Structure 1
Amino acid sequence: MNKSVMQKTFLCVTLFLLSSWLVAQNIPKRPVPPRLVNDYTGTLSKSEINKLERKLVSFNDTTSNQIVVVLVSSFNGMDKAEFADRLGEKWGVGQKDFDNGVVVLIKPKTLRSKGDCYMAIGYGLEGVIPDAITKRIVEYEMIPSFKQNDYYTGLDKGTNVLMDLASGEFSAKEYASKTGSSRIGYFLPFIFILIFYFLIMRSSRRSRSVGKSLPFWTALWLGSTIGNSRTHSGSWSNFSSGGGSFGGFGGGGFGGGGFGGGGFGG
């Protein structure tokens, strides 16, 4: 009986280790020499990659906080959160003793699939870049540019906010307040449309049909406005976003000034 239990335990452990090893093979190998911007999809131009690289290298050298940008065409059967977490661990993003790494993971939109964007934040930066803020950064700074197929501008804006938060240029609360006002502004047209709609409905003697109760041009305007609003809202479904905090980054392989300062031209 004991022997049978030991055999089953050994088999379970072996299968677990094997599955973990197979999953690890689906994560890109750490770049050699190390780079902070890694585009495996050909989305960014060489010039765009180098501009982002120089900015992130400078930030790494002056603060020790590390932001890695990775563009992939597939998550290889994993969800985006697991993929970003495992990549951060495998590459050793951030300083080993501080868990101060950030992985910005992008899967560009294609004709067959929607785009995905995810930010994995090391525990050492979770206090200044909480989960809710990473989602706002993606939605307000990055996705609007991604929708225009301008991935460089979206990444540039998103990493700028990450850098400012990590270095204390402004707080998460201040950023939330700033983006919160824009969210209210986004919904104001819907609010006014609904108020206008219900006021007319209330004053109408007939309630069977809006088309019968309202003047033709008013009904046409309402239908057109609401339809356009739905279209604008639905266009965001081309991308999904998210963010989360993870420990266990910080292998140190990218740290210690390993990138240098001026190694990238163009």
Structure 2
Amino acid sequence: MKNIIRNIKSSVALSIISFSFLLAGISSLQGQDLPDRPTPPRLLVDYTGILNASERTALENKLVSFNDTTSNQILVILTNDLYGHDIETFASGIGDKWGVGQADLDNGIVLVVKPKVGNNPGLAFISVGYGLTGAIPDITAGQIVDYEMIPSFKNNDYYSGIDQATTVLMELAAGEYSSDEYSSSRRNFLWELSPLIFFFTLLFLILWLSRRSSTIGSKPRSPWAAFWLGSAMGSGGRWGGSSSGSFGGFGGGGFGGGGAGGSW
């Protein structure tokens, strides 16, 4: 009887050991090594080539200028390969491996974009270092992805989405406004637009009725032309356009799951 019990215990122990090795093997296959940081180090890494030269220059100058004028760092990565990881693990892993932020402050941000290709959904994630989770909590990171990035990405405009998102991240990290103020402004956005929507709808209706009653054969010029020509918008901000693009390097880390993402 004792021999039977001993054999059962040995079989169970052997099964547990074998299962542990199996799990370790699966884990190693699923989680490949992350890419090494580029040399020289850069704050914008586009492995996809989806950004053109002028877009890359503008974004990198913006990121380097922010790095030079604050103690915070934002790294932007565009990639088609997550090296066997989910995008959250990839983003936080890059932050730790590359050392994004200052070593004593853990004040780095990693923004990862995996563009939509064919039927494969696009993915975006903002990973926030420990030192900035108070300024940029998970819910706010998710709102930035949803409101600033994905609408542009759906139109295949990756530059605008990244530009808008990094502007908000910079302003939050610099304390120009709080995450609550940002969230409130987004919730109130459509409500604040309601009077304008009503006004322009009414004005359009008046102009349409006026045109219908005009003399047959006349071609009245639309007063909208000058308005639309004069309403062109440009992008810019405190951290745009003045940097040479050179970047001193990383030295931090401290990423532990803070952040949020989305898909389209």
TM (norm. structure 2) is 0.63
* Cross-structure match for 1:240: none
* Structure 1 residues 5-57: Cα deviation after superposition (integer angstroms, max 9, x where no partner): 8xx98x969x85995698352x2210100000001111101211111111111
| Pairing 1:23–2:31 present | yes
Q: How does 1:30-179 map to 2 (within 5 A)?
A: 30-179=37-186
What amino acid sits opposite 1:65 in the alignment? N
Unaligned runs of 5+ in 1: 187-251, 257-266
Q: Answer yes or no: is the 8 Å Cα contact 2:108–2:132 preserved in 1.
A: yes
Question: How far off is 1:182 after superposition?
Answer: 3.2
TM (norm. structure 1) is 0.63
Q: Answer yes or no: is the 8 Å Cα contact 1:24–1:86 preserved in 2.
A: no
- Taking only aligned residues, the RMSD between alpha carbons, in angstroms, comes to 3.1
Change (3 A) 1:21 1:110: closer
Tell me how far apart the structure 2 counterparts of residues 125 and 178 of structure 1 sit (CA, whole Å). 21
* Cross-structure match for 2:233: none
Tell me how far apart the structure 1 counterparts of residues 191 and 25 of structure 2 sit (CA, whole Å). 49
Q: Answer yes or no: is the 8 Å Cα contact 2:44–2:60 preserved in 1.
A: yes
Tell me how far apart the structure 2 counterparts of residues 183 and 73 of structure 1 sit (CA, whole Å). 34
Unaligned runs of 5+ in 2: 1-5, 7-12, 194-247, 253-264
Q: Which has the higher helix share?
A: 1
**Structure 1 runs, 4 residues or longer, greater than 4 Å off:** 15-22, 183-186
Work out the percentage of aligned pairs sharing the same amino acid: 52
Q: Answer yes or no: is the 8 Å Cα contact 2:29–2:84 preserved in 1.
A: no
What amino acid sits opposite 2:158 in the alignment? Y
Tell me the secondary structure at the aligned position of residue 125 of structure 2: strand
* Cross-structure match for 1:254: 250
Change (3 A) 1:71 1:18: same
